[in-house]
Amino acid sequence: PATDAPAMESPSSPSYDWFQTDSSVTIVIYTKQKDISLESIIIDHQDGSFRAETIMKDYSYLIHIGLSHEVQEDFSVRVVENVGKIEIILKKRENTSWKSLGHPLEMHLSFIPRKDRGLYYRKCQLVSKAVVTPDTRLFCVALPPCTHLQVQAGHHVYLKLTIAGTEIVKPYTPVSDSLVSEFKEPVLPNNKYIYFLIKIYPSGLFTPELDRLEIGDFVSVSSPEGSFKISKLQELEDLFLLAAGTGFTPMVKILNYALTNVPSLRKIKLMFFNKTEDDIIWRRQLEKLAFDNERFDVEFVLSAPALEWNGKRGHISPALLSEFLKRSLENSKVLLCICGPVPFTELGTGLLYDLNFSTDEIHSFTA
């Protein structure tokens, strides 16, 4: 029967194929889209079950197969961006010819809105934990060897722990291991590790339990989610970041990306709101980054400073913002990102509208 419901705008469904050599099996996904990257594909392969989820806009395409033969633990992934093709190359354990790739498992070849897919978790091992501020830690977890997962700037994952017999899940925003390259530990290869800056709340439900994990313990990590589009940074001239407390986390990768990949940007400014000096996450790194980069400025604002603090004080306010949000040129292309406690983000977003920035120029990070 005819309905008045508007047609759902979905991209056309991807398809896949596979071929083999003596030593390898290649699975090819044809997405029919051009804006795909290594972040568009999430692969988990364990106990013979092979799961490859391709994310295309708000849709998810799943290949889910029980492989017919054994393969080695490591595999490689390649994206041919201009034709929207993804290649996953598996190494056979034995050089025999496969008659089929395998048998279909649950939801194989489904192409559905992402929100209907449900979160998929894999167990990750805690590799390191470092104290950053009195109550914030930098956690590093290792993805299993047979997982390919990369988290886009500004996106988050869910961490899951079983606490007193109940599964508890909370969202966290992965960061890079540092803001300045000298701090990077060269021993850890890229992409197998996910870093988190997490504040421990002594009376919180989840974070005290997370803080009790020891190196080698496991925590489940979901596939990524989020609405921030990195393409918003293209052609940008001014980028303003307003962060409060751990609301700094989405800004980390955005800042790294902006400084290295957006040549059009004339100015990147971070206004970072905290209670006290001790609470400022990565203060020395931020100051070094600002010292080394003419394009980047940072300003710290404290709501409960010590008497001797001679920087900015107070909460987010019209006075603070109108002074801070000066465009490098009149009518420059601008983006404002804001993240922090809900009242901070709500108040701040309202103030940005009052200052005549448009919806298109503001990205508020919320739950």
Query: What CA–CA distance (Å, rounded) separates 75 from 133?
Result: 38
Query: What CA–CA distance (Å, rounded) separates 313 from 184?
Result: 32
Q: Does 201 bind ligand FAD (CB under 6 A)?
A: yes
- State the residue number with the nearest CB to ligand NAD: 245
Calculate the dihedral angle through the C-alpha atoms of 62, 65, 70, 75, rounding to the nearest 10 degrees: -10
Considering the complex, what minimum distance in angstroms separates the CB of residue 253 from ligand FAD?
11
Backbone angles phi, psi at 110, to 5 degrees: -75, 145
When binding is defined by CB under 6 A, the residue of 42, 316, 321, 337 that contacts ligand NAD is 316
The tokens for 75 are: 């595999």
The tokens for 123 are: 């167990």
Nearer to ligand NAD, 205 or 329 (CB): 205
When binding is defined by CB under 6 A, the residue of 245, 255, 357, 363 that contacts ligand NAD is 245
275 contact choice in ligand NAD, ligand FAD, none (CB below 5 to 8 Å, kind-dependent)? ligand NAD
Closest CA to 161 of 127, 206, 199: 206
Q: Where does the chain have alpha helices with state H?
A: 207-211, 249-261, 283-292, 318-324, 342-354
Q: Does 199 bind ligand NAD (CB under 6 A)?
A: yes
Calculate the dihedral angle through the C-alpha atoms of 281, 273, 224, 144, rounding to the nearest 10 degrees: 10
When binding is defined by CB under 6 A, the residue of 274, 289, 296, 305 that contacts ligand NAD is 274
Q: Does 367 bind ligand FAD (CB under 6 A)?
A: yes
Query: What CA–CA distance (Å, rounded) separates 235 from 223?
Result: 29
Residues 299/272, Cβ–Cβ less than 8 Å: yes
Q: Does 133 bind ligand NAD (CB under 6 A)?
A: no
Please choose, out of 75-83, 182-190, 208-216, 240-248, the segment that lies near ligand NAD by the rule CB under 6 A. 240-248
Binding residues with ligand NAD: total (CB under 6 A): 25
Question: Residue 4 is which amino acid?
Answer: D
Nearer to ligand NAD, 149 or 316 (CB): 316
Q: Does 104 bind ligand NAD (CB under 6 A)?
A: no
Q: Where does 194-326 have alpha helices with state H?
A: 207-211, 249-261, 283-292, 318-324
Torsion 201-298-243-323 (CA) sign: positive
Please choose, out of 69-77, 98-106, 205-213, 309-317, the segment that lies near ligand FAD by the rule CB under 6 A. 205-213
Please choose, out of 52-60, 119-127, 216-224, 242-250, the segment that lies near ligand NAD by the rule CB under 6 A. 242-250
When binding is defined by CB under 6 A, the residue of 343, 350, 353, 354 that contacts ligand NAD is 343
Annotate each residue in 211-250 with x if it binds ligand FAD (CB under 6 A) or - if it does not, as one string: -----------------------------------x--x-
When binding is defined by CB under 6 A, the residue of 113, 118, 171, 318 that contacts ligand FAD is 171
Q: Does 250 bind ligand NAD (CB under 6 A)?
A: yes
Q: Does 341 bind ligand FAD (CB under 6 A)?
A: no
205 contact choice in ligand NAD, ligand FAD, none (CB below 5 to 8 Å, kind-dependent)? ligand FAD
Q: Is 210 exposed, middle or buried (CB count within 10 Å of its CB: 0-12, 13-18, 19+)? A: buried
Query: What CA–CA distance (Å, rounded) separates 279 from 133?
Result: 6
Q: Does 36 bind ligand NAD (CB under 6 A)?
A: no
Q: List CB contacts of 150: < 8 A, sequence separation 6 or more.
A: 38, 39, 191
Q: Does 203 bind ligand FAD (CB under 6 A)?
A: yes
Query: What CA–CA distance (Å, rounded) separates 323 from 74?
Result: 52
Residues 249/197, Cβ–Cβ less than 8 Å: yes
Considering the complex, what minimum distance in angstroms separates the CB of residue 280 from ligand NAD?
10
Which chain residues interact with ligand FAD by CB under 6 A? Answer: 156, 170-173, 196-199, 201, 203-207, 246, 249, 367
Residues lying near ligand NAD in the complex (CB under 6 A): 156, 173, 199, 244-247, 249-250, 273-275, 279, 303, 315-316, 339-341, 343-344, 347, 365-367
